[in-house]
Amino acid sequence: MMALSASPPADGSLITRLPPVRGRYAVDVDLAAVTWFRAGGRAEVVFRPADAEDLARFLAEKPADVPVTVIGVGSNLLVRDGGVAGVVVRLVRSFATVSVEGTSLRCGAGALDSAVSETALRAGIAGLEFLSGVPGTIGGALRMNAGAYGRETRDVLVEAEVVTPAGEVRRLPAAALGLTYRHCALEEGVIFTAAHLQGEAGDPEKIAARVAEVKASRSETQPVRARTGGSTFKNPPGAKAWELIDRAGCRGLTLGRAQVSPLHCNFLINTGGATAAELEALGEEVRRRVREATGVDLEWEIRRIGRPASEDGHD
């Protein structure tokens, strides 16, 4: 991997076509190393912007034909084995701040959901305990209206800060995001950079007890120590995905080195050396069996990006 800033070398690669930045470019980055599945291909270029201004300038000045993909900590993500063309944006450091203002919090999009919950706990702010059970970052929580244990991101969101594909920095009220179950109505190219979340004054002991309850429940019912990507499929209206998967006889089902978790069958597991293709194919087999057994067509919750290995130019 080659780390670069400002002027890239004139070697004819994508990096030579990108604008100068204050952050960092890195070439040919192994994305499997940063995803929770520990599977998948490489990024052509990764860009870690210094701040929202740096990100906005990059988007405004990059060539129009260069695709941009945003990833967080890779908790609910499957990168296909052929890798990701163009530029992958990762928000780190300056985007991971969390500050308290009364009973509300200002959070960078790169802040871990669990860190936001812990900050709220220390400040005696109630209502954000559910975030301790959501793996990932605030940016991901905004993009998919993440939720757990009876609450969703939209329940606590006041406004979000974004950068548009054209490089425009904007603040949007919660209602403008069109948040519904595991869905945000903003176009995919809009990048979240920060959020304003609202809680309420609470008893720190009660908040701590609720956080402990959420963490214990997650540890007991989900394969949190396995190489997994979190909940694989969205819950269909009026049903639970895991129950449908169980009814279709998929608990513990394996394909190559990929497995449906025996503990919670809405989780896929890399048992060791699984390819992204194996994990995705297992997910599709689960969808097929559930459709045949119940008539329900499960919808992926895990975000899948990139190209299959057959399209990477090396197979």
The predicted-structure confidence for 159-175, as pLDDT tens digits, reads as follows 999 999 999 999 999 99
Q: pLDDT at residue 153 above 90?
A: yes
pLDDT of residue 310: 75
pLDDT of residue 10: 38
Residues 253-270: tens digit of each pLDDT:
999 999 999 999 999 999
Mean pLDDT value of segment 36-50: 97
Q: pLDDT at residue 312 above 90?
A: no
pLDDT of residue 145: 96
| Cβ–Cβ under 8 Å, residues 118 and 200 | no
Query: Measured between alpha carbons, how far apart are the two ends of the chain, in Å?
Result: 22
Q: pLDDT at residue 222 above 50?
A: yes
Residue 250, token pair as written in the block = 């998929």
pLDDT of residue 17: 96
pLDDT of residue 224: 86
Q: pLDDT at residue 315 above 80?
A: no
How far is the C-alpha of 176 from the C-alpha of 162, rounded, in Å? 12
Q: pLDDT at residue 146 above 60?
A: yes
* Residue with more model confidence, 54 or 11: 54
Mean pLDDT value of segment 211-239: 93
Q: pLDDT at residue 9 above 50?
A: no
pLDDT of residue 147: 92
pLDDT of residue 176: 97
Length of the chain as a residue count: 315
Residues 87-100: tens digit of each pLDDT:
999 998 899 999 99
Residues with a known catalytic role: 182, 231, 301
pLDDT of residue 11: 45
How far is the C-alpha of 178 from the C-alpha of 188, rounded, in Å? 13
Q: pLDDT at residue 8 above 60?
A: no
Angle, CA of 186, 197 and 141, to the nearest 5°: 45
How far is the C-alpha of 26 from the C-alpha of 5, rounded, in Å? 9
Residues 169-198: tens digit of each pLDDT:
999 999 999 999 999 999 999 999 999 999
Confidence band of 311 (pLDDT split at 50, 70, 90): low
Mean pLDDT value of segment 139-155: 94
DSSP string, the chain: -EEE-SS---SSSGGGGSPP-SSEEEEEEEGGGGSTT----EEEEEEE-SSHHHHHHHHHHS-TTS-EEEE-SSTTEEE-TT-EEEEEEE--GGG--EEEETTEEEEETTSBHHHHHHHHHHTTEES-GGGGG--SBHHHHHHHT-EETTEEGGGTEEEEEEE-TTS-EEEEEGGGG--BTTB--S-TT-EEEEEEEE-EE--HHHHHHHHHHHHHHHHHHS-TTSEEEEE-BPPPTTS-HHHHHHHTT-TT-EETTEEE-SS-TTEEEE-SS--HHHHHHHHHHHHHHHHHHHS----B-SEEES--GGGSS--
Query: Torsion angle, CA of 47/48/51/57, rounded to 10 degrees?
Result: -10
What domains can you pick out in the chain, each with its CATH number?
2-93 (3.30.43.10), 96-207 (3.30.465.10), 224-309 (3.90.78.10)
